[in-house]
Amino acid sequence: MTRVLFVAALAGCGFHAQGDPVGGSVTLQGQLRDFKTQNVLVDGTATVVVEGQLSPPPVVTVAGVSFTIDGVLENSLVDVVVAVPPTHHATRSSILFVTDNFEEAPVVVDEVTLASLAAAAGATPRAGHGMILAHLVDDAHQPRLGVLRSELALADVGASTVKGPVFLDGTLAVAADQTKTSGEGWVAYFDVLSPGLPTLTAAPNASVNMAAAIPIGDDVVSIAEVIVGTGTTPPLPANVSFATQVFPLFTSLGCVGCHAANGGGKDAGLDLGGGSPHKAYTELVDELRPGTPKFRVDKEHPTQSLVLTMPSREVPPDGHPNITFTGPSDPAYRLIQAWITQGATEN
C-alpha cells in the first residue's frame, strides 16, 4: 500500500533520521520510490527541493537518486519536491519530522502515468497550474473505499477550472467509469491554480468528513494523505484547560526550542519557556505582538489567531520559520482552537 505522509525515525529500510532533543534538528537520508510500482529508483539524477522551513534553511545533498537533508527542525512539517527528469515528474510530498514512528520514503510520479491520468481528466499539465493525487484513508491509514464523487469538494481554488476527481483502481491506473473510491483509495485533480492552498473537504450533506489543505506548485504533482471520517465533522474537544492541556503542547510540539532561553522566537517577543502557564497565557492573550496591533489570540475569530496561523502552512508563507500543524484537523490545532472558542480563559 502506498503511504505518503510519513514521519522520520531513527532507522529503517534504507531511510532514517537522527534526532537531538526537542528543539534540535534531524538528518534525513533516503532514496526515491516510483509512485505506481513502489520500487526504489536506481537510475537517474534527482532534484530535491525542501519547502516549508524558512530559517534556518535545510541543506540538501543529492547523489544520483539518493539524498540527504540536514538541519530539519524537529516536530516540523516540510514539503519535499522531487523529480528525476526526464522519466519522473516533479512531485511534492509532505513529511512530518519527529524522532520515532517510521512510515515511508517520498514517491515520484512517472511521466507515463501522469499523462494517462491527465488524459482521463481531459487535462494537460501546464505552467501556472498544479495537480493533486489524494490518498483517501481511514483513521488506521487504510484505504477508504466507497467515497462517492458527489461527496468530494475542492475548496479555495481561486479562478481555477478544476478537472476531476479521476479515480484510480487497485493498480493505480485510471478507472474511467468509476464514480467512487476503490482499490487503494486514490483520486486525482488537474488544472488547480498555482500557487495555492486548496482544501479537499466533504461536500454538503456527505456521509463522510475530511479537511486537508494541499499546497499547489507550478506544474507539480502534490501528493496528500487525507483521513476520511464517517458522518459529520466531530465537535471540538470540550472543557479544554490551558494549564493542563494547551500549555504542555508548547513543549511536546517543540515550540519552547525557539520561544525560550536564547531562541529567536523569544527575541521576537514570545517567551513560552520557564515552566509558567501564567506567563505564557499573559503573552498569548494579554500582550500585543511587537510591532503589530494584534494579540496572538483572537477570541472573536479563533481560527485567525496568530497562535494557530503562524505555525500553520500558508501561501505565501507568513515568516514563521517552520510548519508545526499538519492542518485544521491536526489534534493539537483543534485543541487550541477549542480553548480559544471556549473563551481562552486562564483555566
**Domain presence at residue 347:** no
Report pLDDT digits (tens) over 297-333: 999 999 999 999 999 988 887 878 888 888 888 999 9
Q: Do 313 and 52 form a contact (C-beta atoms < 8 A)? A: yes
Distance of alpha carbon 285 from the chain centroid: 27
Give the pLDDT confidence score for residue 78 in this predicted structure.
87
Phi/psi at 29 (5° precision): -130, 145
Give the pLDDT confidence score for residue 9 in this predicted structure.
29
Are residues 174 and 224 located together in one domain of the fold? yes
Give the pLDDT confidence score for residue 302 in this predicted structure.
96
**Domain presence at residue 301:** yes
**Domain presence at residue 133:** yes
Helix, strand or coil, per DSSP, at residue 59:
strand
**Domain presence at residue 346:** no
User: For the purposes of burial, counting CB atoms within 10 Å of the CB of 289, is it exposed (0-12), middle (13-18) or buried (19 or more)?
Assistant: middle
Are residues 55 and 122 located together in one domain of the fold? no
Are residues 72 and 31 located together in one domain of the fold? yes
CATH code at position 221: 2.60.40
For 277, the enclosing helix (H) or strand (E) is: helix 277-281
Alpha-carbon separation of residue 152 from 179, 202, 207 (angstroms): 11, 5, 10
Question: Of 230, 260, 283, which closes a domain?
Answer: 230
What does pTM read for this prediction? 0.86
Give the pLDDT confidence score for residue 321 in this predicted structure.
81
Are residues 115 and 221 located together in one domain of the fold? yes
What residues make up the domain containing 291?
242-341
**Domain presence at residue 33:** yes
Question: Of 204, 230, 256, which closes a domain?
Answer: 230
CA dihedral 283, 289, 294, 297 (to 10 degrees): -30
Helix, strand or coil, per DSSP, at residue 71:
strand
Q: Do 313 and 327 form a contact (C-beta atoms < 8 A)? A: yes
Alpha-carbon separation of residue 278 from 166, 198, 199, 244, 248 (angstroms): 51, 37, 36, 12, 12
Q: Do 308 and 337 form a contact (C-beta atoms < 8 A)? A: yes
Are residues 266 and 288 located together in one domain of the fold? yes
Number of domains in the chain: 3
Residues of the chain short of pLDDT 70, as ranges, are 1-23, 97-104, 159-160, 262-264, 266-269
Give the pLDDT confidence score for residue 18 in this predicted structure.
41
Question: Of 206, 230, 254, which closes a domain?
Answer: 230
User: For the purposes of burial, counting CB atoms within 10 Å of the CB of 262, is it exposed (0-12), middle (13-18) or buried (19 or more)?
Assistant: exposed
